[in-house]
Every structure is written in C-alpha cells, then in structure tokens.
Amino acid sequence: MLRGLLILFISACFLFSCSKKAELNPSPTSLITEGNAFATSSRILNQVYGLYSTFKQTGLYGSEYPVYSDIRAGDFISTNLNPNIGALTYQCVVESGSPEVNLIWQQAYQLINGCNVFLAGMEKSGRAVVGDSLTANYEAEVRGLRAIAYYSMLQLYAQPYTKDNGASPGLPLRLTANAGLANYSLKRSSVADVYARILTDLDSAEIGLPLKYSTALINTTRLHKNSVIAFKTRVDLTMGKYDKVIAEASKIVSSSAPYTAVASGGVANALESDITVVFKSPYTSLESVFSVPFSSNDIPGVPLASYYLPVLADATGLGTVGQGQYYLYAGGIVADAQWTATDKRRGFLFTTPSGGSTGRQWLTKYKVGTPFTDNCPVIRYSEVLLNLSEALLRLNGDASIPTAKNLLGAVRHRSDASYVIAAATTPDLLSAILEERHIEFLGEGLRNTDLMRLGLDIPAKSPAGSISVAAVPATAGNYIWPLPNAELLYNPGL
Amino acid sequence: MTDEMKTALRLIIWLLLFTGSLSVPAELSAEMPEKKISIKGENLSLRDIFRIIEKQSDYQFFYNSKLIEQLKPVTLNVLNAKVEQVMDLCCKDQPVHYRIVDKIIILEETKKQELAAPEPAVLSVMAMTVGGKVVNKDGEPMEGVTVTDKTSRAVTRTVKDGTFSISASPGDVLQFTSVGYEMVEVRVKAKPETIKVSMVEAVKTLDETVVIAYGTTTARANTGSVSRVKGTDIAATPVQSFDAGLAGRATGVNITATSGVVNQAPVFRIRGTNSLSLSSYPLIVIDGVPAYTDDVNVGGNAMNNPLSAINPNDIESIDIAKDAAATSLYGSRAANGVVFVTTKKGRPGKAKLTYNGSVAYSKAVRAAPVLNGDQYLEIKNEGLVNAGTYDAVKNYYGNSIGPDGKIIRTNWFDYLFRTGLFHTNSVSVSGANETTKYYASLGYTGQNGILKGNDYNRKSVLFNFEHKVGSWLIVGNRTNYANDLTDSKLSTGQGATNTAANSVAYRMALISAPIIGPYNKDGSYNYTGLNLGLQDNQGHLTSTARMGYTNPVITLKYNQDNTGNNFIQSNSFLSLIPLKRLVLKTAYGIDNIYSRTERYFDPRSDEGYTANGSATGISAKREKWVWTNTANYSFDVKEHHFDLLAGEEQQKFTGDQFGLVRSGQTDPAYVNIQGGFSSVAITSTQDQVFYQYLESAFSRFQYDFDQKYQFSASLRRDQSSLLGKNNKSGLFWGFSGGWEVSKENFWEKSGLSKTVNFLKLKGSYGKVGNLSGITDFQTLSTYAAALYGGVAALAYSASGNADLKWETSKKTDVGLLLGFWDNRLSAELSLYKNDIDGLIFAVPVPSSAGIPGASPNTVLSNVGKMYNKGIEIGLNGEVIRGKVFNWQAGLNVSFNKNEITALTATVKQLLISSIGGAADQFSISQVGHPVGMIFAIRTAGVDVQTGRRIFLDQSGRKVLYTQVAAAGRYNWEYTDGTQAAAITAANDGVPYKRTNPKLYGGFTTRLRYKQFDLDLLMTFQAGGYMYYGTQGTLMDARFSNNSTKILHRWQKPGDVTDVPRLMDGDFTSWGYSMPVTSNVYSSNYLRMKNVTVGYNFSPLVLSHLQISGIRAYAGVQNLFILTPYPGADPEVTSAGNGTVTQGFDRNMNPNARIVSMGLQVNF
C-alpha cells in the first residue's frame, strides 16, 4: 500500500508541475486587450465614444478647462481661496507644480495620444473591419477632437498667436501612437506650428465627417461637418485670421437673418429663440453645436454647477445648491450697465437674498443639482455669429457695420428684444461685440481667450472686504501658465 | 475566632495579598540564608510550636485544626535548627506528615497504608531510589525531561505526569534538562525525598526551534539570518494584529506604527526600503500559507489590515527571515524578507484550558496645541489689520452666542477625540497525547479608538490539530475563521480619502475656529453647505465664507462608514513517511476574505451634502489557494548529516470587487443602499477583477558535519501570471554556510572557551525577487469600459510592458553568533548588503506622451539599481542570573544605508508631488542619494525689520514674501526692494533631507523577582527627517485655527522670531501649497514603547481552585517619547506603506498612550 501511495504522490506532483500556460497568461475578464480592441465594428464605435469620454474628463470639458479659463479672467471671486479648487489660477499664481497645471495638460495629452493610438489602430486593423467610409468618418471625428484638445491647451500654456504671429513656444506636437517605455523627448513646436496642425486636422475632419447623425442627441454630442466648421471660426478668430473666419462661417451662416446653417445641408444649426432652453434638458437645441453630455450614471468629476451654484445657506429660494466655490465679482461684467435688467441672461444670475452673503451674485447657467448632470458646452451657434460679426468688422471696417450689427443684434435681441445697439463706429461696435461675448458666454470658458487674443490685461479682482488680486499685464510672466512639472522634469527635449 | 475561621482567613489573606506565595521551590530555598529555629520546652502542643516557628521565621502553617488536636504534645530542645528538622521531630511517630511549598508548611494526615517506613537509624551513603516530579512554571507536569546524575552519569526521563525515579547517592547532583528550558541542578539529600523541580523557559535562544521555509531548524544550526519574536511578547500588548507589536523586538526590523487609527497596518520594513515602485512589505507566511498584507482597501474610510484576522493570542512565534539563505526558497516574493508566523499547537500533557483577557484605555498624546477663542480673535483680527482689510463694523472676527446663551468657546478636540477602550478575551483548549495534538481557541476583541466613530471588533475561532497514524502518516489541519468590522465615520486621512482632504478628522480638530460651535443659537446644527458656518459673524466678516469644514457632530451622529470582513484560512496537510527518513508532504491551504463596505452619508453632513444624501455598498471577494508538495529526505553518514528537500507549489488568487453609490436620498428614513435614492453610480467603488497565479518548483540541500560545519543551498523557479509575457519565469537561489568554531577542539581546549562558550560564523549569498505590488494584468495593454453621457464607450486605459520581469535582489550576509559565560550573554552581529538590480519602478515619461494607466505617464519597467547595506547588532544577556531575582536585558540596533546607484538615461530623478494629496509634500529620489528625500524650498527665517518670510531662491539669494504688498512694492522682493520672481517648488526646491533613519532599534529588559516580572521595551531611531505638513495648516493665516506657536509672531521691527508677520489670506509663508524647509524636522526619537508589570500567582494557592496558573499584568504603551519633532508623533505617515513617500506628516492622527490590564488563567 505504501508503495502505491508513494507512486500516487509522485505522479500527482508531476501532474501538477506541468506548465500552466493558460493560467500564466490570463485574459482579463473586464478589460479588452490591445489585440481585440479593433476586432468588431461595435468595439470600434465604442472606442470613438471612448475618446469623447476622455474628452469630458475633469481636466478638459468635464469642467476644469472652461472653469479655470473663467475664474482667472475677472468675473469671478473665489469664496475660500482653496488651492485645490482653483485658487492659484484665480490669483494668477499657478506654478509648475500646481494641480490644475498638471491635470489639464495631462488629460489633454491623454486624449491626444488616445486619438493617435486610435488612428494607428484603424489603419492597422480597424479599416478592414468597418470599411473605408466609416473609417473616414471616425478618423475625421478623432482628428477633430485632437484639434480641440490642442487648441484648448494653447489658450493656457502658450502666448497668443496674435502677439507675434505664433513665433512663441507652443506645445510638443504629438501625432504618433505612444505606448510603453520609449524615448519621448520632444521639443515644443511654435504656436504657429500647433495652430497649423489644428487647422489641418479640422480641415480633414470637415472632409471626412458626416453631415449629420440620426438623432438630435448625437448631433449635439458628436462632431459633424458643421461643428468642426464652427470650431474653425473660433480657431481663426483666435489667430486673427479674419478672412478665414468669414470663409468658414459663411458655410454655416445664412447671409441674412434668421441666421441658420440650413443651407449647409448638414445639421440645421440656428439660434434658439430662448437662450435658457440651451441650458436645459434635453440639451439638444440646434444652437448647441457641440456640448458634452452627462447622466446620473456618468457624472462629471468636479461638475460645473458645483463650482458656481451657491451653498444652501446662500441659496434661499433658488431651489438648487452647489458648493459655492466661485461667485460673481460685483465689479465684473455683472456691473455692466448695458446688460439691462430685462435681459433674459440676467436670469442666469441669482442674488443671495438673506444671511451672511446677502447680495452676492451667483451664476446659475448650470442649474442641475446633485449629481450635476448639466451638459458642458463646447461651442454654440451664437458664438459663430459673433465670430463672424467681429471678423467682418475687423477685416472690412465700416463697410461691414450693418451686417455685423445684424449678427450682433441676432444674439442680443433674442435675450433683450428692446435693446438698441447704439454703436455706430467700427471701434464702438467691436467693443459692443466683445461685451456681448462677455455676457453671452459667461461661465463657458471663452473670456480668457478673448482677453489674450486681443492682448488685453487680465483685470484685477477687488472684492469688498477680501483680498484683492492685482491685474496681470499681457507682458507679465504669469499671463500664461507654465508647463507642468511632469513635463519639465521628464522631457529633456524641451 | 475559631480555628476554621482563622484558617479560612489565612487562606484569603494569602490569596489576596500573596503573602505566602513567594515563588521559591522548597528544595531550592536552602540556597538562601534562612532563619534558624530555636525552641525549648516540654510537652509543647503542636499549635504552640507552630506559632513559635511562625514568629521566628517567615514560614506559615496550613492545617486542619481538628487534626492537630489529636496529636501528641512534643518535647523539644533545638537550637538554630532548620525548620525541616523541627518539623521532623514534631511529626515523628504521629499520624501526620508535612509538605513545604513556598514557605507554607502544610500538615496532612497520613493514611494508615501510607505511614512511612521507619527511618534508617544511620544515614547511608548507599545509592537509593530518588523520585520526583518536574513541572513548568505554570505547575504543569513536563514529560520527557532528561534527568542525569552528574556523578554516576545515570540517565532517565520523566514520564507523562512529570514524575521520574532514578538511582542516586546522597550528595549527587541531578541535572534536569529539556530543550527550550533552563537547566536545573539539584543536590540529592541524605534521606529519600520527593524532588520537585520547576523549570523555566530558557532565555538563550540558541537551541530554540526556528521556522524556515518549508521546515524548521534551530538557531544554533541555522545558517540564515532569522530573528525570532515570541507570540507571548505580542499578545500582552493591546494591538489588533501581530505586525504592529513587532516594533523594536528584532534586529533589522523597522515597524512604524502609523497613527492612532484602528486596524491600520504599520509600515513594515526589513533591512530598509528595497523597492521604488513595488511594495516593501515583507512576505508573511502563516503556517505555510502566504497571507494578504498591508491595507486591503474596500473603498471606505476604514483601514483594513488583513493580518488582524489572526488573534495575536493564537501565535506561538514569529520568525523573521532576512537574508538570502533564509528567504531564497520563497524566490520571487522574498526580496523584502519573509515573516513566518506559527500558530499554537497542542503540547504534550494534560489538556490545558487557557483564558486570556485584557482591557486597555487609550488617549491621544501630543496633539497639537491650538489657540483658544480669545487668542484666535486676537490673531485673526491682527491678520485683517495687517492686510489692511480690518473694519470694526464691516470686517472683523467676533464672538457668537451658543444655544446656552453664552459666548461660544469650543475645543473641537472634545468633539473628535475620546478615551479609547480596547478589550480582548480569548479562551483556548489544547493538549496532546502520543498520537494527537490539538489546539482550539475562541477570541473576541473590541476597540473604540481614540477618534470618535473609529471602532473595531473581531470574533475569531482557530482550530489546529495533528494526528499521527502509526509511524508512517501524519494528518493535520489548521482552520481560522474571523469576522471583523472596522468603523470609521470620519476620514482619518487614509483609505478612501487623502490626508489633505478637508474632512480629515485631525485636521478638523486643528482648524475649526474655537469661536464657533457645532450648534447654532436655536439648537440647530451649524453648517453652511459642506462647511461650518460663521454663526454671529455673518454680516460683519467678509474675508471668509466658513470657519471650518465638516461639522463633525453631524457626521458622527448620522453617518455610517464601515468595512467588515469574513476571513477563512484553512490549511490541511498529509505527511507520509514511507521510508524511515523520507517525508512526503502535501499541503493545501486556502485564505479567503469576503469583505463588505457600507457607507451612508446624511444630506446634512459634509460627506453627503453634495449628493443630497448617499449610500454606498461595496463587496469584495478574495480567494486564494496554495498547494504545496514536498519530499524531504535526511540521512546520516557517520557525523555527516544530509537533508534534501524538493517541492513544487502552486498558488492562485482570484476574486473581484464591485459596488454602487446611490445618491439623492428620497426620504430621511433611507440609510442603506437598498433604500430610496434617485440615482446610481459606480464611481469610487473600485470595481475590479483579481487574478494571480504563481507556479513554482524548488529544492534545498542542507549538510551538517558534526554540528560544526553547515552548508545549505537552495533553488527555486517561479512562474507568475503577473509578469510580462516575455518574462514569465525567474530562477532564484541562495547558498549559505556556517562554522561553529566553539565546537572545535582547539577552541574547547583554549582558555578562551571559558569566556566565549559559543562562537559561530555564518555567511550567505543569494538572489531573490520582488513582484509584490505589480497588479493583475498590469503588463497588458488594455481598454476599459466607459460611458459618454450614458452611451457605451471603450477607452484606452493602460499601456502595459510585455517585458516586465522580477526585480532581483542579490543579498550578501555575514554573521557572527557569540555566547559568553555559558550563554549568559549572547551576541549576534550581522553585516549585510542587498543589491537590487532591475529595480522596477514606474518610470515617468513626459506628461505629453499621454501614456494611460492608473498612474498616467509612468511605465513600470526594470530599470535602476539601488542597494541597502547595514550592520545589525543584537545583544541579549542575563545581567543577574538567579532563581529568585533574574534580570535579562536585550539591545538591538540596526544601521542601514540606502543609496540609489542608477536610474535611467532619461530620468535622473524621481520627483513625486502631492504626497497624500497635499500640494506641499514632495519627495525626490536621485542617483547617489537615499530613496525618498524631502524636496523643499529653503527658508531662512523671518526678516527682523519687516517680519516677512525669507525664502532662498535656487541661487541662494534671499527673497522676501508678503501677502499684501504696499503700493509700489511687490509680493516677492529681493532684500534691496526690487521685484523678485515668485518662488516656486519647480524652480527653487532642493533635495533637502533624507527621510529614512540611519539607525533604529529597541532595548528590552525583563526583571523577574519571585513571582513578579517587569518588562520594558524602548524603541528608537535616528538620522531621518520628517516633513511636518500639518504645520502648513496650523500656521495658515486664513480662517483656520492655529498652533499656539503663532503667538510668537513678528509684531514690530527688531522682533526675532521664526513666525512671520500675520496677514490675512497668507498661506504661502508656511508653505501650505508649496514645500518649505521650515517644516522639516528631525524624526529622531526614543520611545518608552511598553512597560508591563506581571505577577504569577503561586500554583499552590491556585491548586485549591483547580487553577494551575494565573498571571496578572498591567502595562503602559507609549508612556513617553523624547523627540525634537514638534508634531504629534515622528512615527506617522501620510502615505501608508508607500516606498519612496515615507517621512511626510499631513494631518496624521496622534498616537495613543495606552494603559492596559490583563489576566491569563491556565486551568
């Protein structure tokens, strides 16, 4: 018996010491591996959506990019100067180690590399799965996202193109798929080179993108032909290429009111008659050219509304609460006398009626309480009209005053029908347009770019009884953000 | 008073005051000078004689008074006689005999048949039969004790009931020896007697069993570097898990008790930090099964140390293997050392029932002193004045009225801290006969931590048995089941939240303003949004919207946050012995943890405010099995002893974790995940699937010549699923040798051997690996599911490294073991060097590379080199060796030097920012320096003229900072008044100080006097520094409360101080958001870690109660600490067991001082 047991024992040992290939090379059950990610058409489509989901991470259009662009630009006051909630940006004292400087850069490049990896994967195996036509659509869409990411970063980390025609250092231009450990040393391309790439991407996106999708929801939340055209008007305006703004805008703006994009053959983007509709569920108005959606299953990291909505004690009568991180600077745009009390957009402001913060004004454009699922706007049709209006004036001067005024009027009058645009000269009208943009896009992250592209100083913020933040001249070092530590330390090519 | 009453009273007095219970066995007491008895008288009654004896000596009597009245009076005439002589005369020809136990003389009736044979008239020198009994210190019989007559060399052994009989002549010396016990010698007296010997466990450790990989050996024969800690040393301290009790107990082992948070794993290092990005936690092997270690995070605030599944009372011993020889058989997991935990097993003898119970009270010590209400008002208003924003009507800090109508003065510590209570009870039954050994225990431990809402309890059951079938088969099983629950209503800064978060408990105690309270005037809770409101300051204070963050009273009252586990650990084995010296063993073990985290956040609380009330449920399942098959063959050829081991092992770990967060409570009645909530999300639930598989084959060869020369070699091949597909397997090996010089003839003959009775040299070299910390599927490039507004999405989530392989450590160890004066002093000296090659670290790539992953833009790769080298010195001695008074002392000191010798071509330094989530905590690791140095901006005090903080820029030039610059002046200025660039960490930070200590150790001393014992443990470390991040918070010039240190602020020109001028809004001068050297302090300390006084009740007294032993003890943990570190404790960490991020203290809880009392009863 002993011998039998012994034999059994030894054979058991041998049996189990055979190499276990499968056990040693497991496939994860909750992750898709590299080799399979392009295996089916639905996976490829999911990957496209995956890049949008990267696009709406906290640091980008989840909230931080628009919020941080606004809180430095003079209209908001930090409630409690918390450096983890943008106080350093607010005070214009960010440095390479500041959390936001690292996060926005990091997440933008996560998106950019995600796009690059997708493009490479499509060429390698995806094209064979979905065919040339869908490949062209997807690749165009992804190039569009990559362009928006590069554009957004330039607004924070680089000098404006208009300062020196883009001669200043821009961003490391990453266009190839990165994976694993490799030499990623790369110098910064000039601002001009980065803009050139942005426009190349947007142009090719315009060619490859479909005119429209099957539902209004998809038309507002994915890029289509008109949305990249609209975005190009922003890029060109930022660069001061007014002729190009006009050329792009003309594709999607009818020559006379009511201004629409019907003639483009794509999504019939147009102004919504009531601006408040744009910021309400289902967020699928034709004005919303591109915005990113959230749902209660897919909530934003640090949501827009939680920054701007007041806390309970300050929100008596509002019906919704946030974390009250930033309130409106009484000396900012809210003080503008031209922004009349009857203007519908004043409805986006809430004044604390009682308690210690009586009289404080809060932005309520994003009004959904917890879990704060307001869409985050990227570009609206009203901006295209104002971009066009400004470009016409800057390019043609007085000759374009009537058209420019009409375009401006289209935006102003839908919110304040009785307002009379008094400006009669080009400079007056230009400042009226700038003022209109300031009112119209409050809390949408455009103000910082408007200041920078025009070489304006960042205005001072002097809240009553609290610490002032001095103005930042366009020449000052802190006019733009530094590169983050994570780049400075590990990219010897800079 | 009747005699019965007197007897009873005596008994009670003995029991209560222990007066009669001096622990000297009667036969040994002759060694002490003893009072002699002198009595002269005729026909004295025995009662009178006994009274006289009691007066003249310290003996006491115990007798039945009825019996004594029946006895004849005695005539005596003795001068300076021994008490025995007197008693012999008294009992002569009487129907009684006496026993003396511990100075108590017991008179007993002699039954007729027992009547002693008449004494021989003449004392004979002839051999006679001497009998007796050997017991241990608990009074239990000891079997198998060798009894040697040193004169005649006759030998016998004690039998099961501890008795023996041996032929000996009067005057012979009997020597009693047993492995693990102190030798006892007794001289045989002239007349036959029952010799009673009580043996105590040996202090000298040379012959103790030492657990090694897949077997055991003795310290004497062991060639590896292994330190042993006894389970009893740990069980007497109020810790939930044994690892926390190891501090200072062994050389080379550095345990950092992290903070006074319940169920938190300590930082555990053996011979320094041995990795950069992987874990430095050693492998813990419990009865052969590798255990889960560190914090098992199930998504809540609660800390969750899986090692607390083992009741420390069930631990027999802990063996800590440090060098390659001792660890290489564990191959790929051995680089950080291996800790073998052996649970208790039954011992031969009668069944033993043991009860252990203790209770302990704990209190936070050295919490930061903060301002009271009046000081707060003074400081804050001065800040407003200096900033130019003070307004006596519109902008000032003022008082508020509380619900009691009085001005509020709040000490927030009262709302957050409490006196903690720890209690533990366990009962075990154990025993063994020739064929079966068993041990079973039940335990219950409960703890209320020093922080409110921070509780722990554990119920555990352990069953161990081994059964021998004939001489050829042994089967056994150990099963441990434990159920625990850890509550942490408030964040403690680890677990789910980072240490810098607003809601961290200690931070709340520090920064909440003392001029507001948790309740408003009308009795309602004070909160505005997430935070504590201004109360009556509303309307006249505009510089802040809050005066604190979380209102802890709400959180503690309404919220729930706990993690519970069911642990099932079971290990069965079957050993076959088909040939005489061949042992085949198969062992199968499982180690499963089923965990559940439940959280409920009330909508009024900080935690639940934003979500309008939320409930979270997270479940996790961790299942692991290990199957080990070994064959062991040992044989001797003359003095040559060979031992061969071969084995194979498989280990698989599977499981998953998932959960839900529901928010938008629809009715206040809903407080759990099943209740009514409006939305559902899966964020913060750490959904994941676990999978790890390890397959190994190993062998070992051990050779011993005459116990003089030893050699061993081991080899292991591991294949792991964790590693890159191109590098699945690794080969690990070790060699070691030992030479017991003192066994050599030349040594024994030399005079030196009288002093140095034991001398052994040993050395080892080997290669081991490290992969702990590589997570499942980390080598793969993967895409993870995501959502885009609810639409399915798939996002590139991880860029793997198919080439990832083991981190390898080449360990060299040279050791010297010395025993002096019959091992009265033993010394151990080790020199070691651990060269780590192919160091795995998360190589940072430029952020713009866009590499995805859990920590983006890092790629785990085998690059870099590092070494740890050091010296360990262990001394153990018996300062006073005596049966009555014994004093042992031990000292262990370890010196460790760590240096990174190579990183990569592109990465010259590894800078880690935001440690613990705090923007001002930076660590840097550079070639040529130790890992994890503090990176900070240099400060140079405060400008005497202006009170501004002086920073030094990169070039060393002074830059002065002011929060609010006067017109025409600048926030940042050079000393000449010109504008300076703002100081930043990136531009101006420097690698400043090392964090890991240069030396650490412990000092133990154990005094035993009669039945009392005193145990002291001091621990110390020196040479390291700590970043006191909490100070940035404590000196913040916004609303938050401050350390009383701020009272020393600069106020007028000429003030010399290190506290700058106050200015509202200033959070720069003390580096709240950037690292400054003014927050760096030495972390040297000397701590009185443990003082325990114990008392062992006399077995005799107890025998009447059918108790064989009672030990009562009381102790104080953390009695005091001497340290230059100004924070609560130099032994805390913001970064858990992180390797390069030790030495940072941000909002870390103080540690507790613990007073404990315990009782151990053996039945």
> Are the beta carbons of A37 and B780 closer than 8 angstroms?
no
- Chain A contacts of B796, Cβ < 8 Å? 37, 47, 50, 54, 113-114, 117-118
- pLDDT tens by residue, B531-575: 898 999 987 887 787 899 899 999 999 999 999 999 999 999 999
Residue B348 in contact with partner chain A when CB distance is under 8 A? no
Q: What is the pLDDT of residues A228-239, one digit of tens each?
A: 999 999 999 999
B789 touches chain A (CB under 8 A): yes
Instruction: Give the mean pLDDT of chain A.
Output: 92
Alpha carbon distance B250, B1001 (integer Å): 8
Distances (CA, A) of B385 to A465, A469, B816, B1066: 11, 18, 68, 13
Task: State the DSSP code for A123.
Answer: I
Contact B963 A467 (CB under 8 A): yes
* pLDDT given at position B787: 92
- Residue B496's pLDDT is 63
Nearest to B859 among A30, A181, A465 (CB): A181
Look at the block and give the residue holding tokens 């629950």: B485
Query: Is A118 in CB contact (< 8 Å) with chain B?
Result: yes
A24, A81, A464 member nearest B1065 (Cβ)? A81
- Please say if the pLDDT value at position B422 is more than 60: yes
CB contact under 8 A, A484 and B847: yes
pLDDT for position A7: 52
Between positions 162 and 181 of A, the ones with CB within 8 A of B are: 171-172, 174, 178-181
What is the percent of chain B with per-residue pLDDT over 90, rounded to a whole number? 44
Q: Which chain A residue has the Cα nearest residue B980?
A: A477
Q: Given a cut of 60, is residue A99 above it in pLDDT?
A: yes
Contacts of B394 in chain A (CB under 8 A): 465
Q: Mean pLDDT throughout B498-524?
A: 91
pLDDT at A264 exceeding the cut of 80: yes
CA distance A386 to chain B (A): 29
pLDDT of residue B32: 43
What pLDDT score does A444 carry? 97
What is the rounded distance in angstroms from the CA atom of residue A479 to the CA atom of residue A476? Answer: 5
**In angstroms, how far is CA B1152 from the centroid of its own chain?**
14
CB neighbour burial string for B986-1008, b if at least 16 within 10 angstroms, e if fewer: bbbbbbbbbbbbbbbbbbbebbb
Taking CB atoms and an 8 Å cutoff, what residues of chain A touch B844?
486, 489-490
Q: Round to whole Å and give the CA distance between B253 and B242.
A: 14
pLDDT number for residue A355: 77
Beta strands at A288-292 and A169-172: parallel, antiparallel or unpaired: unpaired
Mutant choice from A14, A19, A153, A178 vs B, greatest count of B C-beta within 10 A? A178
Q: How far is CA B685 from CA A295, B298, B490, B1010, in A?
A: 18, 8, 18, 57
Q: Which of A20, A80, A283, A462 to mutate to test the interface with B (most CBs of B within 10 A)?
A: A80
Peptide bond into A258 cis (omega under 30): yes
Instruction: Please give the Cα distance from A142 to A116 (Å, whole number).
Output: 8
As a three-state string, the secondary structure of B59-79 is CEEECCHHHHHCCCCEEEEEE
**At B1002, which helix (H) or strand (E)?**
strand B999-1009
Best residue in B788, B860, B970 to probe A by mutation, most A CBs within 10 Å? B788
* B1112-1127 pLDDT per residue, tens: 999 998 999 999 999 9
Q: pLDDT: is B432 or B1087 the higher one?
A: B1087
For residue A473, is pLDDT > 90?
A: yes
Token pair for A282 = 């289902």
DSSP β-bridge partners for residue B772? B774
Q: What angle do CA A273, A278, A284 make, to 5 degrees?
A: 105
For residue range B636-658, list pLDDT tens digits in order: 888 888 889 999 999 999 999 99
**Residue with the two structure tokens 């979905």:** A130
The tens digit of pLDDT for each residue in B1043-1068 reads 999 999 999 999 999 999 999 988 88
* Statement: residue A481 has pLDDT above 60: yes
Provide mean pLDDT across the span B416-429: 94
Checking if the pLDDT of B21 tops 90, the result is: no
d(CA B539, nearest CA chain A) in Å: 5
| Burial of B453 (C-beta count, 10 Å sphere; 0-12/13-18/19+) | buried
Burial class from Cβ neighbours inside 10 Å (0-12, 13-18, 19+) for residue A5 reads middle
Tell me what pLDDT residue B1019 has: 92
- Find the CB nearest A296 among B680, B691, B721: B680
CB contact under 8 A, B1038 and A296: no
Q: What Rg value do the Cα atoms of chain B yield, rounded?
A: 35
Residue B258: predicted pLDDT: 59
Q: What is the pLDDT of residues B1000-1014, one digit of tens each?
A: 999 999 999 988 999
Q: Cα–Cα distances in Å, from B1 out to B9, B68, B247, B291, B507?
A: 10, 17, 55, 64, 66
SS3 B1015: strand
For residue A7, CA distances in Å to A2, A14, B246, B578, B649 come to: 9, 11, 44, 11, 18
Q: Radius of gyration over alpha carbons of chain A, in Å?
A: 25
Query: Nearest by CB to B846, which of A88, A116, A490?
Result: A490
Interface mutation vs chain B, best among A110, A145, A294, most B CBs within 10 Å: A110
The C-alpha atoms of residue B1075 and residue B937 are separated, in whole angstroms, by 6
Contacts of A323 in chain B (CB under 8 A): 529-530, 610
B33 has a pLDDT exceeding 60 = no
Model confidence at B102, in pLDDT bands (50, 70, 90)? Answer: low
How confident is the model at residue B519, as a pLDDT?
96
Q: Kindly state the average pLDDT of the residues B388-402.
A: 92
Q: How far apart are CA B659 and CA B700, in angstroms?
A: 46
Among B173-187, B201-215, B955-969, name the one with the lowest average pLDDT: B201-215
- If one counts every other C-beta atom within 10 angstroms of the C-beta of residue B746, the result is 9
The pLDDT of residue B1011: 86
Q: Do A24 and B783 touch (CB under 8 A)?
A: no
- The encoded tokens of residue A476 equal 């000052």
DSSP H stretches of helix in B355-427 = 373-387, 413-416
Query: Is residue A468 classed exposed, middle or buried when 0-12, 13-18 and 19+ CB atoms within 10 A define those classes?
Result: middle
Does the distance separating the beta carbons of A356 and B720 come in below 8 Å? no
Contact B1064 A467 (CB under 8 A): yes
Query: Which candidate, B884, B1020, B753, places its Cα nearest to that of B200?
Result: B884
The pLDDT confidence band at residue B833, using thresholds 50, 70 and 90, is very high
ipTM score of complex: 0.93
Residue B123 pLDDT level (bands cut at 50, 70, 90):
very low
- The pLDDT score that the predictor gives to residue A420 is 94
pLDDT bucket at B192, cuts 50 / 70 / 90 = low
Burial (0-12, 13-18, 19+ Cβ within 10 Å), A172? buried
% of chain B exceeding 70 in pLDDT: 93
User: How far is residue A303's CA from residue A63's CA, in Å, rounded to a whole number?
Assistant: 6
Would you state the pLDDT for residue B862? 86
Cα separation, B756 vs B869, whole angstroms? 28
Q: Is A16 close to B984, i.e. CB distance below 8 A?
A: no
Shortest Cα distance from A131 to chain B (angstroms)?
20
**Span A93-119, mean pLDDT?**
93
CA B128 vs CA B119, B157, B628: distances in Å: 13, 17, 54
Residue whose tokens read 């942005």? A198
Whether the Cβ atoms of residue A390 and residue A404 lie closer than 8 Å to each other: yes
Contact B982 A323 (CB under 8 A): no
The neighbouring-strand residues paired with B432 are B349, B437
Bigger pLDDT: B699 vs B107: B699
Residue B797 has pLDDT above 60, yes or no: yes
Asked if pLDDT for residue B103 goes beyond 90, the answer is no
What percentage of chain A reaches a pLDDT higher than 90?
A: 78
Residue range A300-357, pLDDT digits in tens: 888 899 999 998 888 999 989 888 999 999 999 999 999 999 999 999 999 999 877 8
Point out the residue among A306, A356, A482 whose CB comes nearest to the CB of B539. Answer: A356
DSSP string, B690-738: EEEEEEEEEEEEEEEETTTEEEEEEEEEEEETTS-TT--EEEEEEEEEE
Q: At A150, which helix (H) or strand (E)? A: helix A127-157
Tell me what the mean pLDDT of segment B353-380 comes to.
94
pLDDT of A13 higher than 60 = no
**pLDDT of B638:** 83
Is the predicted pLDDT of residue B423 greater than 60, yes or no?
A: yes
In terms of Cβ atoms closer than 10 Å to its own Cβ (0-12, 13-18, 19+), residue B411 is middle
The confidence score (pLDDT) of residue B205 equals 45
Does residue A9 carry a pLDDT above 70? no
| Among B847, B908, B971, the residue to mutate for chain A (most A Cβ within 10 A) | B847
- Chain B residues lying within 8 Å of A184, measured CB to CB: 845-846, 848-849
| Domains recognised in chain A with CATH numbers | 1-20+31-190+473-494 (1.25.40.390), 306-363 (no CATH)
Tell me the average pLDDT of chain B. Answer: 85
